Structure 1
Amino acid sequence: MSRPNSFNKKEVEKRKEQKRKEKSKRKEERKTNPGSKSFDDMIAYVDANGMITDTKPDLTIKKPEIELDQILISAPKHEEEESVGMQGRVEYFNEEKGYGFIKDLGSTNKYFFHISKAPKNIKVGDVVLFELERGHKGNNAINIAYKQ
């Protein structure tokens, strides 16, 4: 018991057939009237200023030579900075192990120091002058001297 084709089915078939015909018509138009652009028209060039153009650049013009010394870089060259002396108080010192910590008077930072970088008779509470050096775990105090 097959059902006869309904009106909707016929309409859908008509629309599909119409789309197929339109598509084949467009395809034929493309074949008969090829695009106005050839391969040479599609190529773009980049000029000396970095702009995209359709004309080939003139290779006879030479670029001006720029010496490396004339190029300015925004970051200044790294120059060796003189380490600024800092003041601090010895907060902790262990004579047996030979290390201690100095608390900076200008801030709350504490810096590690080793006995080899400090005066022989240093003790807790001494006010000292020192410089900083980058160590394994942070800044270390070096060149430790008593404040006069």
Structure 2
Amino acid sequence: MIVCAPLLLLLLLLLLLLLLLLHDERIEQFGGTGHRRRVTGAARGRCRCRRIQQILARARRRLYLTLDALDQFTKLRTQMMMVMMMVMMVMELMKMLMLLKVLLLLLLLLMLVEQRLLLRLRVRPTRWRPCCTA
């Protein structure tokens, strides 16, 4: 769609140019519009040539504007993709941190269970005595 837009614009401008040329021919065929003065053939050719140059210059400006807009859209799309990549990296980091938190909680739970079992067994440290008395 983006590639077709400048081509469609160029096609429309060429159609407009053709319509203007046909309109000019119809005015000459029916003797002019009444408010234009009669011009010789060479002057008429220069007038038509100038009009064509103006139309082409306008089309060129519009095409440049279209290309600028397309370039800005491409830059914006690239920036948005970079932002999305950064968001995805942050989300992955958050997942990893959540997994680390869960693992730490499991380790803490295991330590609490172990302490409960030790308290339930009531293992008391015995006093150290030498095996042989001197």
TM-score range, shorter chain: under 0.3
**TM-score if structure 2 supplies the norm length?**
0.25
More helix by share: 2
**TM-score if structure 1 supplies the norm length?**
0.23
More strand by share: 1
Structure with greater contact order relative to length (CA < 8 Å, sep ≥ 6): 2
